Amino acid sequence: MTSATSDEIVAARAPWSAILRAGQSLQIIDLHGNQAVDTLFYAVNGDRVDPTGRYSAQATVAAQRNIFLTTGSVLRAADGRALVTIVADEVGNHDTIAGACSKESNTLRYGHHTVHQHACAENFLAEAAKWGMGKRDIVSNINFFMNVPVEADGTLGIVDGLSAPGKSLTVRADTDTLVLVSNCPQINNPCNGFDPTPVRMVITDS
């Protein structure tokens, strides 16, 4: 029997966080389609973050020998520990190499006129502070529902997404894990279809 212990809407452009206890699942529903959900995971002891248990995009990619995340991908800390596992995916692949947008990197990518636009790094910093973390704790993240191909010559970029309204992805916690999310506010590339929208977060006991 499955019962939802939490069912929340994350507003467009907003941060969100919650702790998943080992065995609990989080379903992320892309309500309107092609909405990047920038996400970090941190192992916790009780409600305290374990700094050695921070998500590592590199450890995750090296262990599965593939840059794309999908069903079966184990999302790992730098020491190789499993934090969560993707147990369902209606999209096919998700990014973990392109990182989060920031006001600072927006100046490089789109020009200095974008420096005061909202960005994921702002959401991460604000939400991390609630858990006693700061800038040093923010690392390369996962971009659920974001599509970043790498071509044969190494060219990579954020292109039109593979998701669609109502599609979802579910992770199951392998250990007690804090989930830190920025519902991406980027308006200068197709990661949100140029129109940031809300997403739904459903936590269930398995």
Partner 1 sequence: MTTASTDGARSHARSQASGASMRVPDLPDGVDDTRLVWAEAVPAESYVSRVLGRGTRLRLSDPDGGACAHLLLFRADASWERLNVADTMKVPWQAYLGVGHPLLSDQGRLLATIVADTSERHDLLCGLSPAGQQKMLLAAAKHGMDIRDIAPSATLFKGVRVEDTGALTFTGSAGPGAAVDLLIHLPVVVAVVNTAHPLDPQPATTGLDIVAWRADEELSVPVNTDPEYSRALFNTESTWAAAQ
3-state class (DSSP) for residue 103: helix
Instruction: Determine which residue in the list 135, 165, 166, 194 makes contact with partner 1, applying CB under 8 A.
Output: 135
Q: How many CB atoms lie within 10 A of CB 203?
A: 19
Check binding of 78 to partner 1 (CB under 8 A): yes
Check binding of 116 to partner 1 (CB under 8 A): no
Instruction: Determine which residue in the list 7, 8, 47, 79 makes contact with partner 1, applying CB under 8 A.
Output: 79
Contacting partner 1 within 80-109 (CB under 8 A): 80, 93, 97-100, 102, 104-105, 107-109
Residue type, 138: I
CA-CA distance, 34 to 190, in Å (whole number)? 8
CA-CA distance, 74 to 80, in Å (whole number)? 10
Tell me how far, at minimum, the Cβ of 79 lies from partner 1, in Å. 5
Q: What do you get for the CA distance between the two ends of the chain, in Å?
A: 8
Sign, CA dihedral 83-120-38-64, equals negative
The answer to whether the CB of 15 falls within 8 A of the CB of 27 is no
Contacting partner 1 within 148-177 (CB under 8 A): 149-150, 153-158
Tell me how far, at minimum, the Cβ of 146 lies from partner 1, in Å. 11
Q: Binding residues for partner 1, how many (CB under 8 A)?
A: 45
Beta bridge partners of 89: 169
Tell me how far, at minimum, the Cβ of 70 lies from partner 1, in Å. 9
Query: What's the token pair of residue 185?
Result: 């506010």
Selected range binding partner 1 among 18-26, 28-36, 63-71, 172-180, rule: CB under 8 A:
63-71
Could you list the residues that contact partner 1 (CB under 8 A)?
A: 51-52, 54, 56-59, 61-62, 65-68, 78-80, 93, 97-100, 102, 104-105, 107-109, 111-112, 121, 134-140, 149-150, 153-158
